[in-house]
Structure 1
Amino acid sequence: MSTSSSLAARNRRNRNVAVLCVAVFAGMVGMSYAAVPLYRIFCQVTGYGGTTQRVEQYSDTILDRTIAVRFDANTSAELPWDFKPKQRQVELRIGETTEISYEATNLSSRPTAGTATFNVAPALAGAYFNKVECFCFTEQELQPGQSYDMPVQFFIDPEIVNVPELKNLKTITLSYTFYPLQQESAEAPQPAAAKKQKIGG
């Protein structure tokens, strides 16, 4: 094989390697962007990490057995809100739909907006904690000094009693943490009263 042919073959190999490297890099970037929503979907479907379930209808089975649900509230230090549950705990029958409320107050002198993340403890119970309505499904915006009631409708799936690890479970904790929307985080004031707080739990 002539020197020119050998050089041409080497150049082709180098180009192929370069194209492959670019394709792998692009694929990795694409997967990193997809990882967060895919992980969120996985958690919602399986209840992994204490992620609750969203349902469209109430349970048609209500058991005689009761369970207590405690409520926990947290706010990011970057969000100037006072956020707390209006009830510390309720006791309900498994399968019974119940509504409770959280309350949020904007402590700043400007409109601020936030969004909530949520989970339950113990984590395994997340797959059986069904929300019919919840403020966590939408972004929330409060005017200066405004207070707002945020209802949550939920029930505990009767199938929970068939899970060996949960058959003796007496209490579930529902926890929310409010964070500022991305565009708010760099602008919202941070008064001392808006430092991270935890109520209940």
Structure 2
Amino acid sequence: MIDSCDKKKTLTPIILAGIFCIMLGLSFAAVPLYDLFCRVTGFGGTTQISKDIPKIVLDKKISVRFDTNVNKLPWNFKIKENVIDVKIGQVSRAQFEVENYGDETTYGVASFNVSPSSFGQYFAKIGCFCFEKQKLDPGEKAMYMLTFYLDPEIVNDLSTKNIEDVTLSYTFFPSDYYEPAKN
């Protein structure tokens, strides 16, 4: 007959191994689950991606301000218009210009955020250059376009219905991942 002390000695490592496996699995699932959560809720200013345009355009306008930044790249990055007034539900475009003033080919990826963050779930991008690798040769200039609309549902949300202006901030970061291997 197995006494209870022997059962505990056998069961404890099995339980600990099980907990370890569960924690390991959760650590791998954390990033995709957080990304899904942010996209569904707009948490942290995460904008939405849309393939369709809204069926209605409201008379209410919101000022969309753009902020452009570069982190550790020899690039100039600016927007054609710093502020545009956008009707809710209307498809709008913003044009960005980027120039590599360095003497080497460089690669960058733009990330963004929306402020106030509660607005993110109503900022719908139809086309964007963000999160895509961009390559610029020395002295090269490029134009990038953002096509977006403000979801008419914004007026039904108590936390966003009185917002009159929003800021969309873009930052280009270097992307060594995309550089070709050096021989």
Same fold? TM cut 0.5: yes
User: Contact between 1:121 and 1:173, CA under 8 Å: does it hold in 2?
Assistant: yes
Q: TM-score, normalised by structure 1?
A: 0.79
Q: Distance in 1 between matches of 2:24 and 2:174?
A: 26
Q: Percent of aligned positions with the same letter in both sequences?
A: 42
User: Contact between 2:111 and 2:131, CA under 8 Å: does it hold in 1?
Assistant: no
Aligned to 2:95: 101
Give how far 1:24 is off.
2.2
User: Contact between 2:107 and 2:176, CA under 8 Å: does it hold in 1?
Assistant: no
Aligned to 1:131: 125
Over residues 53-85 of structure 1, what are the superposed CA-to-partner deviations in whole Å (9 max), with x where a residue is unaligned?
A: 1000111110111111000112223x3322222
Whichever residue aligns with residue 65 of structure 2, its letter is R
Give how far 1:170 is off.
1.1
User: Contact between 1:112 and 1:184, CA under 8 Å: does it hold in 2?
Assistant: no
Q: Distance in 2 between matches of 1:149 and 1:117?
A: 16
Whichever residue aligns with residue 149 of structure 1, its letter is M
State yes or no: 1:57 paired with 2:49.
Answer: no
Q: Which moved more, 1:79-88 or 1:18-27?
A: 18-27
State yes or no: 1:42 paired with 2:26.
Answer: no
Q: Distance in 2 between matches of 1:111 and 1:137?
A: 19
Unmatched segments (≥5 aa) in structure 2: none
The number of equivalent residue pairs is 180
Distance 1:98 1:24, change over 3 A: same
For the aligned residue pairs, the C-alpha RMSD in angstroms reads 2.4
Q: Which moved more, 1:50-59 or 1:159-168?
A: 159-168
Q: TM-score, normalised by structure 2?
A: 0.86
State yes or no: 1:30 paired with 2:25.
Answer: yes
Q: Distance in 1 between matches of 2:138 and 2:21?
A: 44
Pick the structure with more helix per residue. 1
User: Contact between 1:62 and 1:95, CA under 8 Å: does it hold in 2?
Assistant: yes
1:17 to 9, 12, 16: 12
Q: Distance in 2 between matches of 1:34 and 1:76?
A: 29
Distance 1:75 1:32, change over 3 A: farther
- Match of 1:104, SS state, is strand
Q: Distance in 2 between matches of 1:40 and 1:108?
A: 34
Give how far 1:183 is off.
3.0
Distance 1:180 1:21, change over 3 A: farther
- Match of 1:136, SS state, is coil
